[in-house]
Amino acid sequence: MTKALAIDDSRAMRALISRMLKGMGFEVETAEHGQAGLECLDNSTELPDLVLVDINMPVMNGYDFVATMRADEHYANVPVVVVTSETEMSQVMRCLDAGADEYLMKPFTADALHDKLAVLGVVVS
């Protein structure tokens, strides 16, 4: 089964993203901030096929999560999609510069998520 990690400080957003991804055939793990996301990666026996991460979170934000993840060669090829309500393009570019592959502006639909994943070549049903 295709695995995904969804990282967002909003419980409602984690639930929404999980529901969308599960509807596409993913097995989903969630984390409430970047540090918890890194712990999920480190404790997993299998790399996820995809990571979705919010930008603005407590403890560890999306920028630091992406930069830390990309600094570890073990996770270098895992696709990362930033999901954010941040409207400043400079903030989105900061995440892309840190190593994120794509971004989605909140709110977004399952179809928009599906389209981004297809562009990245992530297997979706």
**Domains of the chain (ranges plus CATH)?**
2-120 (3.40.50.2300)
pLDDT in tens, 41-54: 999 888 999 999 99
Locus of tokens 């712990």: 39
Tell which phi-psi region holds residue 59, choosing left (phi > 0), alpha (psi between -120 and 50) or beta. Answer: left
pLDDT of residue 124: 67
What phi, psi does 105 have (nearest 5°)?
-85, 135
What phi, psi does 83 have (nearest 5°)?
-115, 120
Beta pairing, strands 26-31 & 80-84: unpaired
pTM, rounded to two decimals: 0.92
Predicted confidence band at 1 (pLDDT cuts at 50, 70, 90)? low
pLDDT in tens, 67-101: 999 999 999 899 999 998 877 888 778 878 889 99
Mean pLDDT of 53-68: 92
Contact 38, 32 (CB under 8 A): no
